[in-house]
Every structure is written in C-alpha cells, then in structure tokens.
Amino acid sequence: MNTSNAAADTEIIKEGSQATFTSDVIEASRQVPVLVDFWAPWCGPCKQLGPIIEKVVSEKQGAVKLVKINVDENQAIAGQMRIQSIPAVYAFVDGQPVDGFMGALPEGEIRSFIDKISSGKSPDDIAADQKLAEAATAFEEKDYSVAAQIYAGLVKENHDNIAAITGLAHCQLELGDIEAAKTTMSLIPPSKQDEDAVRQVLAAIELAANPVDEEELAKLEEKLAANPDDHQARYDLAISLNNKNERQQALDHLLHIVRTDREWNDDAARKLLLTFFESWGGSDEMTINGRRRLSTALFS
C-alpha cells in the first residue's frame, strides 16, 4: 500500500481538484459523508463560511469529511455541478449528492446541516427528510393540496413512514375529507398506534366527525345562559366550539366543569380535554397552557 495515499485518505479536510474528485468525493463518500465546498479566493462570503464549516467538520472527528474546490482552478467540475454562485456546499453520501446549500449561513444552521448529513442515514432517508420538510412548510402556509401531494408520494414510496402517513391525514382533514383521513390512518400498524403523532391525528379525526351545526350551537348557548349549571349543554358546546377552532372558549367551558363538578358523567370533561390536547398536539401553546390550567383545577 502507498503510505502517502493511505495518509491522504484519512484526512478530514483537504483541497480537491478535478483530477481527485472521484477518489476524494465519490469513492470516499461510500465510507463517510463528504461535504464539498465550492469557493474562490476573491469571494468574501467564502472567507466567512470556510473557517466555520472547517471548525464544525473537525469537531465531528471523522464522521464527515470536507473537500474544498477552488472554482477558478476547477471550472469543469464546477460546471458539471451547475454551480451558479458561491459559496456552494454539496453533501455526498454513497457516491451521490443528497443535499446542499448556498451562501454563508450562520454557524447554528451549518451545524444542523452537518449533524443531519453525518447522522448515518442513507441517501433515500435524507431525501425523504427533505420532502417531509417541504411538506411541513406547505402545510404551515396552508397550502394543504401541495402538502398532501408530497406526503402521498412519500407514503407510496414507504408505507412505514409514520410522519408521512400522519401528515397526509392532517392535510385530508384540513381539506374536509374525513373518510380519506381514516383510510390513510388505517395504514398505521398496531405497534405504532401509541405514538404521539398517531394519537394526535386519531383524536382530530374523532373530533372532526362531529361537524358544527350553527343552529344547534346557538341553542346550546341559550340553554347555558338560562342555566349555567347545565353541564351537558356546556360539554356539548365545548365540542362544537373546538370544531369551529374556538379552542380557548372550549377549554374554558370544560375547565369550568372540572372545577365545579369533576366527577360529572364519569369524569367526562377531563377526558374530553385530554382528547383535545392530543388533537392539538403536545407542543401547541394551547395544549401547554391547557394542561397547566387543568393541573391547577385538579390539585388546587
């Protein structure tokens, strides 16, 4: 074995070129992920990015490698990678480019990017994570049809992708198709039924199955105004209000029942609150606040 080549192969950070790209990047990435930093001496942002990315890669102690390519000296490879602006960083895993970014990102974002790449996931898993992120962004922007298409594609590729299944069901609920959401959730195996994301969607489906009847809601409000101690009216009103996304009012009504008559109807108000919390999601501010207020009501 050529000892100089063996030493070179163990380098975590190195200068690359057109001639060494196959060995330094393609072949090396079959062992550990390799980041390729396309830069130039005249590029100001490159000078900002370089030290940061080298620092983070060094901290990984060989879990990921970095190859720096001077685009002025290696225009052919820059052209093949369709580099249009620099700095540009591409991540290679198993010989394939799987992710990348352009510009001098803050250290925190660079660290998150490298953490993801060095996680040991396959290119397919990394690509799936990217699609999940795209779908989540579309969902947050209320573009439910686009999000649903992305999630559906992921489910088609992998029926065990719980995040994609629950994401698709969420979209279907937002689009008003409860039956489709139920069908989607039927793909969840019994062993995964207790996961938080799964329980959240199942709770949301249960609540969505009770559509809001505005006339009935008005009657419930009238009954409650006439008799504030009518817990059944208050309970039913909370369900309707939650389905209208009037979550604060629904929460207040159920907490009122818990405080005044906790044992009413076999602890129904507290149980419904827990169902609400699951449907809203554990990290939702309303859930966090609601759990705190419920605890106060129960133990004060």
Positions marked active-site:
43, 46
Long-range contacts of 158-165 (CB under 8 A, 24+ apart): 158/128, 159/187, 160/189, 161/128, 162/188, 162/192, 162/195, 162/197, 162/198, 163/132, 163/197, 164/128, 164/132, 164/135
User: Rounded to whole angstroms, how far apart are CA atoms 148 and 135?
Assistant: 7
Q: Is the CB of residue 222 less than 8 Å from the CB of residue 198? A: no
| Pairwise CA distance, residues 163 & 103, whole Å | 30
Angle (deg, nearest 10), helices 231-243 and 247-260: 160
Tell which residue, 68, 60, 49, has the closest CA to residue 115. 60
The span from the CA of 89 to the CA of 91, in Å, is 7
Q: Give the span between the Cα atoms of 132 and 197, in whole angstroms.
A: 14
Residues 6+ apart with CB under 8 A from 110: 49, 52, 53, 56
Determine which helix (DSSP H) or strand (DSSP E) holds 97, and give its type and residue range: strand 96-102
Both tokens assigned to 41: 């001496």
Cα gap 230→60, rounded to integer Å: 62
